[in-house]
Amino acid sequence: MSQLKEKENQFITAAEQLNSVKQELKSFIVGQDEVIDQVLWSIFSGGHALLEGLPGLGKTMLIRSISECLELSFRRIQFTPDLMPSDITGTMILQPGNDGRQEFAFHEGPLFANIILADEINRATPKTQSALLEAMAEQTVTVMGSTKQLAKPFFVLATQNPIDMEGTYPLPEAQMDRFTCKIHVDYPSKEELREIALRTTGTTVPKLSKVLGISDVLLIQQLSKEILVSEDILNTAVSIIAATHPAAEEAPQRVKQYVEFGSGPRGLQGLLQMAKTRALFAGRYHVAIGDIKQTAVPVLRHRLLLNFEGEASGVLTDELIMEIVETAGQDGDSR
């Protein structure tokens, strides 16, 4: 009984800590509540996130602010076409040894940190993007046949600009699938623009406080895995993923008409992981259908590939996902 009480206290403490992080970020970042939620869900579920939005909307600032709230090491990598794999992974360099002879020593690249900001990731060549893929998938890098373990926890929070695509290298589907979610950063409202101006053009510069350390983040990640998923919720999540495939019998008509490829098993894993973390944020020990509904769009929007008709018709994947979710979860609780 004491063990159950201790576990319950851990869940309560974790929920309070997560909301403390969120409130600290809101004291600095204006608006973007949904974006903040989705980035935090991704981080504490142990996944990577891709933020897409117009220049100047605060994508980089948000990621940097998260690193300041969490006592984790942070590195920023500005992706450009001339960036080489060794520029991010590190390389072997010759240096004099104790006996005076030259020997190779590994010089760590910027990937050796807890939080990696991959700024404008689609401006790097596929060769450099693929070097990042190993780090995201295995949390290791391989240099000259030697495999190096990266720090834990390890997150890649990448940004990309949906306009000015000339000279860019769109991420291949295999690498897009490594991101737990794709988050759209929208333009702020008039009230938010006014508040941004007041906060950034005056003499007072707000400072963020450290809220969580490495051990706290790792513990919360573990606790999020322990959130319960009922058989009904699991079946709903499976039905959602299955319905993203145009060949599936349960797929809506618009999916059959406009989608070329649907989500794979990694989409289901990401959906459940994000839903569990959202439940933990809410102080619940179980996943509700509302958690599935709120996380489905960011988790699946980059995993649905439209066919030619869908692209030509201007169909939005977000609308297709919402249609799938409403069909699969129409009998559930919408909390």
- Amino acid, res. 187: Y
Is the peptide bond preceding residue 206 cis, with omega within 30 degrees of 0? no
List, for residues 289-334, the tens digit of each pLDDT value. Answer: 999 999 999 999 999 989 998 888 888 989 999 999 988 755 444 4
Q: What are phi and psi of 75, to 5 degrees?
A: -135, 140
* Inter-residue contact 281 to 228 (CB < 8 Å): no
- What are the per-10-residue average pLDDT scores of the chain (335 residues)? 69 80 79 84 89 78 82 87 86 74 78 88 85 83 80 87 72 83 84 76 72 86 89 93 89 89 90 92 88 92 90 89 82 45
pLDDT recorded at residue 3: 65
pLDDT recorded at residue 128: 86
How many other C-beta atoms are found inside a 10 Å radius of the C-beta of residue 14?
A: 22
pLDDT recorded at residue 237: 93
How many other C-beta atoms are found inside a 10 Å radius of the C-beta of residue 280?
A: 26
pLDDT recorded at residue 289: 92
- DSSP one-letter string for 248-303: STTS-HHHHHHEEE---HHHHHHHHHHHHHHHHHTT-SB--HHHHHHHHHHHHTTT
- DSSP one-letter string for 179-209: SSEEEEEPPPPHHHHHHHHHHHSSS----PP
Rounded Cα distance between 26 and 51, Å, is: 18
Residue 252: both structure tokens together: 């809506």
pLDDT recorded at residue 164: 67
pLDDT recorded at residue 89: 86
pLDDT recorded at residue 33: 80
Burial class of residue 106, CB neighbours in 10 A (0-12, 13-18, 19+): middle
Rounded Cα distance between 299 and 198, Å, is: 34
